[in-house]
Amino acid sequence: MSDDGADLEQNVGQRFDRLPETSDERTVEGRASREDVVGYFEERFAIPPETFDDHTFWEKGSGKIWVYAGESPSTVELEALGMTCLRTRQEHWKPTTDAIQRFGRHATRNVIELSREEAERFVDGADQDLEWDGDWGYLIAAHQVAGELEPLGVGLYIHGELRSMVPKGRQRDL
């Protein structure tokens, strides 16, 4: 199929569509491909691509990407398929807290380790001034739990500040 946009289909907001393998195979303009999504997690967080070998990726709603391990549905009228993992609507893609908690253990890049006190503030939704000499943008915030580094969720690091991206419903006063 041509990729000039003329005969591309539209994204339908309430329907799950499987992501094409590569952008050459896409039929919806602007839609991310599996290659793009896996590549994003590898480039940004060094999460190995094989982490997602057993998963498929789907889009429902504009730019909202879902990751799913089960058998592909035959129609697309479903309430949910696996979990939301990535928002691709904006220039800077944004992973979800839940996907980072699930897959972020495999990350070795752009992971900021927080102390227990910093972690408490982070999960309570607070922004905090922190030293970080790596990239700006979305980071994986993590802390030590029972002897291992465990991802807490997504933070946005900008101008010397780590902003908590933990959604209201997932915030906790610990």
Partner 1 sequence: MEPLERYRPVVDDFEAFLEACRRPLGTAVRVNAIKASVDRATATLEEEGVGYEQADWNPRVLRLETDSPGSTWASFHGFTHGQEEVSAVPPVVLDPQPGERVWDACAAPGGKTTQLAALMDDRGTVVGNDSNLGRLSALRFNAERLGATSIVVTNQDARNYSMNPLAFDEFDRALVDAPCSCEGTIRKNPDALDDWSIGHVQSVVGIQKGILRRAIQATREGGAVVYSTCTFAPEENEAVVDYALEREDCRVVPFDLGLMHSPGLTEWEGEEYDSSLEEAARIYPHQNDTGGFFVAKLEVGA
Candidates 6-14, 19-27, 107-115, 139-147; binding stretch for partner 1 (CB under 8 A): 139-147
> Of 14, 39, 43, 80, which one interacts with partner 1 (CB under 8 A)?
80
Residue 174 found at the interface with partner 1 (CB under 8 A): yes
Asked if 4 contacts 24 with a C-beta cutoff of 8 angstroms, the reply is no
Residue closer to partner 1 by CB (options 82, 137) is 82
Distance in Å, CB of 95 to partner 1, minimum: 13
Residue 172 found at the interface with partner 1 (CB under 8 A): yes
Contact set for partner 1, span 104-123 (CB under 8 A): 123
Asked if 152 contacts 99 with a C-beta cutoff of 8 angstroms, the reply is no
Burial class (CB in 10 A: 0-12, 13-18, 19+), 170: middle
Residue 67 found at the interface with partner 1 (CB under 8 A): yes
Distance in Å, CB of 63 to partner 1, minimum: 18
CA–CA gap between residue 168 and residue 61 (Å, rounded): 21
**Cα(first)–Cα(last) distance of the chain, in Å?**
53
Distances (CA, A) of 27 to 18, 20, 39, 173: 11, 8, 20, 45
Candidates 27-35, 87-95, 133-141, 146-154; binding stretch for partner 1 (CB under 8 A): 146-154
**Interface with partner 1 (CB under 8 A):** 54-55, 67-84, 96, 98, 101-102, 123, 145-148, 150, 152, 169-170, 172-174
